[in-house]
Amino acid sequence: MPPDPAAPDTPLAAPGGPSGVGAHHAVGDTAWAPRPTWTGDDPARPTAPGDRESPTFGVLAGGVWLVYLWPAAAQVLGGDWPLWQRLVGGVLLLAFLGLYVTTLAVMIPARRARNARQQGLEPFGPAPGDREMWLRVGGLVTIGLTSSAAFGGEWLTTMAFVAAVLAVWTDVPWPPRLIVATALVCEALLLVRGTGGDGDTASYFWLGFAVLVAGFVSYAARRRGELEGELRRAREQNARLAVSDERDRIARDLHDLLGHSLTVIAVKSQLAERLLDRGESERASTEIRDVRGVARDALREVRQVVDGFRGRPLSAELASCAAALRSADVEVRTEAPARGVPQDVEDVVAYVVREGTTNVLRHSAASRCTLAVRAEDGLVVATVADDGPRSVAARQIPGDPAAPRTADGGGNGLRGLAERVATVGGTLDVGPGPDGGTVLRATIAVPG
């Protein structure tokens, strides 16, 4: 009788086996997040990590576990079976291998498309690849059951691969039920075929263990990827809502502000026109000066509305940025100046803190961050320092809008920030921290 495949020293005893289907790659953080709906050729369209991966990588990641079918292949190639049995076994094994490997190549995009329709990201209906995938799954189940029932022994290993594919493809809540059902079927087949001698108990245990591990590890990895996709979409939705709320705020403020200011300007202009017609030039000049004052006030208030942060206390800005960092699981330390600073400098420093915090959240992947503003010796120094794995070369960002842009001159955000700092006579520097990470520092001279 062929060696018992379910003994502890056989491939079925290896818990990391066929959970392959590419457990990490095929159903992990890169493959299962359904894509948001986009129309047109938008170059700014965000690209999910799974979009950058080729089917070849998925086949390699999931196909590596096929080594656990080698004992079955050895029986076909060099076993003591009669010729007809070897021919039948070889055909079944090649069919299973070919179907499984090609299924790995199409399963990820098919599952992603199916999820997108089920979650309302695409028009409801049959997803591309549904029919093909169901035929493939049916073929794998048929070949796995047929070969296991016909040959037993090493061929029961195929059912672990079947369980992993069922865990990835079928819809919730069916995967756990199908995984357990597959394990029970394997135990029944093992009971019917016999276990080959003394290791009966161990054989039943290792066979069931391998099938359950293969299925549930693949299913857990799939669910993790789906939940990460939902989290990413929720964050994108929150960002869109925040932008929409900000637009609404600006629209309301501009309506109230400009409606009043423009009405005053129109009334005073008409009055000045009538005064000029009557020859009262002195009173007309007074009204025109009032119009100029109202226009300047309106311009200043429009800038405040659009910016939304001018006049905001520095303490409030530090608290808001610290809260945003903590919400991203970044440990934060803040330091506020011991004495007050001029209002125009405080406005710029608040913007430095806000922009620096934004860069930390977007680019640094940091675990700790320091937001510090110090006022001493005629200087106000604002520092945003993180311990992220990425850093930049030390340099000063030019604050002159006419300065030529260089490869290391900073992006548009840093250039705009440097221009703001320059308006109050300060400089902006960026560079590596003493222990790694990035430090953004604004230095502004203030009267003693």
- DSSP codes, 173-235: THHHHHHHHHHHHHHHHHHHH---STTHHHHHHHHHHHHHHHHHHHHHHHHHHHHHHHHHHHH
pLDDT of residue 356: 86
Name the more confident of 253 and 181.
Answer: 181
Q: Is 3 domain-assigned?
A: no
Mean pLDDT for the chain overall: 74
Residue 113 lies in a domain: yes
Q: Are residues 216 and 360 in the same domain?
A: no
- Token pair for 136: 């493939």
Quick: pLDDT tens for 350-385.
Answer: 888 888 888 887 777 888 999 999 988 889 999 999
- What pLDDT score was predicted for residue 280? 87
- Together in a domain, 20 and 101: yes
Does some domain include residue 281?
Answer: no
Query: Do 236 and 318 share a structural domain?
Result: no
What is the model's pLDDT at position 9?
A: 36
**217: pLDDT strictly greater than 80:** yes
Does 339 lie in the same domain as 219?
no
Q: Is residue 158 within 8 Å of 97, Cβ to Cβ?
A: no
- Per the domain annotation, does 101 fall within a domain? yes
Q: Are residues 29 and 134 in the same domain?
A: yes
Q: What percent of the chain has pLDDT over 70?
A: 73
Considering the domain architecture, whether residues 218 and 319 belong to the same structural domain is answered as: no
Task: For residue 266, name the pLDDT band (cuts at 50, 70, 90).
Answer: confident
Q: Which of 98-107, 248-257, 258-267 has the lowest mean pLDDT?
A: 248-257
In a domain, 249, yes or no: no
Q: Are residues 133 and 224 in the same domain?
A: yes
CATH number at residue 401: 3.30.565.10
For position 386, what pLDDT does the model report? 92
CB atoms within 10 A of CB 135: 11
**262 within some domain:** no
Q: Is the pLDDT at 97 greater than 70, yes or no?
A: yes
| Position 282 in a domain | no
Quote the domain boundaries for residue 92: 11-38+46-241
Last residue of a domain, one of 179, 208, 241: 241
Same domain, 327 and 211: no
**221 & 342 share domain:** no
Q: According to the model, what pLDDT value does residue 64 have?
A: 64
| Top-confidence range, 38-52, 118-132, 185-199, 216-230 | 216-230
Q: Give the model's pLDDT for residue 333.
A: 93
Cα(380)–Cα(339) distance, rounded to whole angstroms? Answer: 10
Is 62 domain-assigned?
yes
Q: Are residues 122 and 27 in the same domain?
A: yes
Among 214, 241, 268, give the residue marking a domain's end.
Answer: 241
Same domain assignment for residues 355 and 219: no
User: Which of 224, 241, 258 is the last residue before a domain boundary?
Assistant: 241
Number of domains in the chain: 2
Same domain, 121 and 234: yes
SS (H, E, C) 151-187: HCHHHHHHHHHHHHHHHHHCCCCHHHHHHHHHHHHHH
The three-state secondary structure class of 303 is: helix
